[in-house]
Chain A
Amino acid sequence: MSEEQIRSLERQFDERISRDEKIEPKDWMPEKYRQTHIRQISQHAHSEIVGMLPEGNWISRAPSLRRKVALLAKVQDEAGHGLYLYSACETLGVSRDELYQQLHSGKAKYSSIFNYPALTWADMGAVGWLVDGAAIINQVPLCNTSYGPYARAMIRVCKEESFHQRQGFEIMLKLANGTPEQKDMAQDALNRWWWPSLMMLGPTDDKSVHTEQSMKWKLKRKTNDELRQQFIDQTVPQADVLGLTIPDPDLKWNEERQSYDFGAIDWDEFWQVVKGHGPMNKERMKARVGAWENGEWVRDAAMVHAEKKRTRKEKQAV
């Protein structure tokens, strides 16, 4: 294709995006658009899968049968989200095995939040309330993103995430209204998950390398800092309902801005975690790689069995 032809295709592509048309797998797209989407969708899928671990860790110890059932259902939903997202990603011409390879080698990232440990039952509440809350803020705009398969996956993901977030808040509410010991447990979980949740919304705008391009492609509608502010403004009143304290002495309502001012985020910690040196990075990767390697003989058996079955069927047909 001549450069002029490519430019013309790019122009048509940009026009389609500005008209809010969806881009579908067989449509022409700039290579950078394809690569950016592979990166973002797969990171999102990986986050769902790695995110099963901190919560899966509490399935056997959930305090009541009702909570255990809800937690199992939630973790199952997350595996399902991973599945849709990997499928959406595969429409861009990459295989799930390649994507796993990238995760296991450390080439692909997943959400930094899942490198924090889930230490008490209250963490199941805090993760649902704060982590899923921050995820929703990030994800709701993606229901209208320009790449059709991603947008459609997100509609389903967002419905279930909102449900998980309410469940998380309900766990916190029960603890906050429970015994002093339970309330302490809830406050301690909020203290530990608050700042990492704010970090989930990504680096500040001046440090965010992908924002401008992502906004053009409607992968993003608001900047990281705008989303973070939205999250804080929506979450602080919820903490008030719970009677819990946000662990930020600088948090204060700003009448003029009609928004909360808040304290400095420890970005050194953020980058440390992103670079693989958070509290649980090594354990999370070890669990994922271990599951993959220990499962190899099972996947091989399934392939060989399917092949045998097909051969037998063909012979019968003859």
Chain B
Amino acid sequence: MKNENLYNYILGIADNSLILGQRLGEITGHGPSLETDIACTNISLDLFGQVRSYFQYAGKIAGDGRSEDDIAMLRKERDYKNVLLVEQPNTNFAFTIGRQFLFDVYHLAFLGELQKSTDLTLSAIANKCIKEVSYHERFSSDWIKRLGDGTEESNAKMQEAINDLWRYTDELFHQTDADKAMVAEGIGVDVTTLKDAYYTRLNEVLGEATLEVPQLKYFQKGGKNGIHTEYMGYILAELQYMQRAYPNMEW
């Protein structure tokens, strides 16, 4: 492939939306209220819409006729580049919201920078996505506050989710080789520069939510290099089932 770094770079962005969208889609119809069900389904829908834009572009760059579905559903587990955070399970609503919030804050800041990309397609996609993601961030940060500053029980559950998921935040700011190459070309976002503002925003919202900011020194990583948690295989088993069981068909 002529432009392998760009291809991998796009996958690194889109796989996050793909796997997070898949996780949110699992809980449709099972949420605590009709309103939250609609919202989570809506966010999932937005994320899959984003995935399609990215993968259609990646397909063009690959230039060998691979489709958005080939890219989404026919890779092996070790080839997915999403961060570990987004593959974490919907343990309860606090975990769903915690995962969403910890990702949305990053995602919003990331897209703000990607809009400035010298790659016009990526910049246009970012421009479309940022509107959706600012809505996601409002939804998830509002719920962090409701659950944190709600009842004693909801506060405990929200705190537990934040404590548990915190170890996956640092990975958001790691650079892959594709990242570095794309930053050098003015196409990619230097994620290391987003880190301080990210944790500042987290502190602000958690403070308002009367939650404690975890003082954790040990973080997890690996997703960006295809080394995932054990949850990933099961996610892919469902995501890929039809494409694997009925190869080369149109739907």
Contacts and interface: CB of A to CB of B under 8 A. Distances in A.
Interface stretch (B25-33, B80-88, B223-231): B25-33
Given A79-B38, A295-B32, A305-B146, A60 B251 contact: no
B32 A65 contact: no
Contacts of B38: 76, 79-80, 83
A239 interface: no
B29 A298 contact: no
A119 interface: no
A227 to B, nearest CB: 28
Given A83-B34, A304-B151, A308-B149, A56 B243 contact: no
A52 B29 CA distance: 6
Contacts of B251: 63-64, 66-67, 121, 171, 174-175
Contact of A60 (B45, B145, B147, B239): B239
B150 A302 contact: yes
B214 interface: no
A153 interface: no
Interface SS of chain A: helix, strand, loop or mixed?
helix
A27 interface: no
A263 interface: no
A285 B9 CA distance: 45
A301 B241 contact: no
Count class of interface residues, chain A = 35 or more
A29 interface: no
Interface in A56-93: 56, 59-69, 72-73, 75-76, 79-80, 82-83, 86
Given A59-B25, A65-B51, A182-B249, A300 B154 contact: yes
A304 B158 CA distance: 15
A68 B48 contact: yes
B32 A69 contact: no
A30 interface: no
Contact of B28 (A66, A75, A298): A75
Interface in A262-301: 287, 290-291, 294-301
Contacts of B69: 63-65
Interface SS of chain B: helix, strand, loop or mixed?
helix
Given A64-B251, A67-B251, A72-B25, A82 B34 contact: yes
A76 B42 contact: yes
A65 B242 contact: no
B171 interface: no
Given A79-B41, A300-B154, A291 B28 contact: no
A206 interface: no
A106 interface: no
B113 interface: no
B49 interface: yes
A287 B30 contact: yes
Interface string B215-251: 0000000000000000000000011011100100111
A72 B157 contact: no
Interface string A159-171: 0000000000001
A143 to B, nearest CB: 23
Count class of interface residues, chain B = 35 or more
B238 A56 contact: no
B242 A75 contact: no
Given A69-B52, A178-B249, A49 B151 contact: no
Interface string B135-149: 000000000011101
B151 A182 contact: no
A291 B32 contact: yes
A178 B251 CA distance: 8
A305 B25 contact: no
B147 to A, nearest CB: 5
Given A76-B38, A291-B29, A63 B242 contact: yes
Contacts of A175: 251
B121 interface: no
Nearest to A181: B246
A72 B93 contact: no
A75 B40 CA distance: 11
Contacts of B48: 65, 68-69, 72
A299 B151 contact: no
A260 B31 CA distance: 43
Report which residue of B42, B48, B93, B149 has the largest number of chain A beta carbons within 10 angstroms of its beta carbon.
Answer: B48
B155 to A, nearest CB: 8
B249 A305 contact: no
Given A63-B242, A69-B52, 8 more contacts: A56-B28, A60-B26, A62-B242, A63-B243, A65-B48, A296-B32, A298-B32, A304-B154
27 contacts: A49-B29, A49-B34, A52-B37, A56-B30, A60-B25, A60-B26, A61-B239, A61-B242, A64-B243, A65-B51, A65-B55, A65-B69, A72-B48, A75-B41, A79-B41, A80-B38, A83-B38, A121-B242, A174-B250, A174-B251, A175-B251, A295-B32, A295-B36, A295-B93, A296-B32, A300-B153, A305-B146
Q: Give 9 nearest A-B pairs by CB, closest first.
A: A295-B32, A301-B150, A301-B154, A63-B242, A298-B32, A52-B29, A56-B29, A59-B25, A63-B251
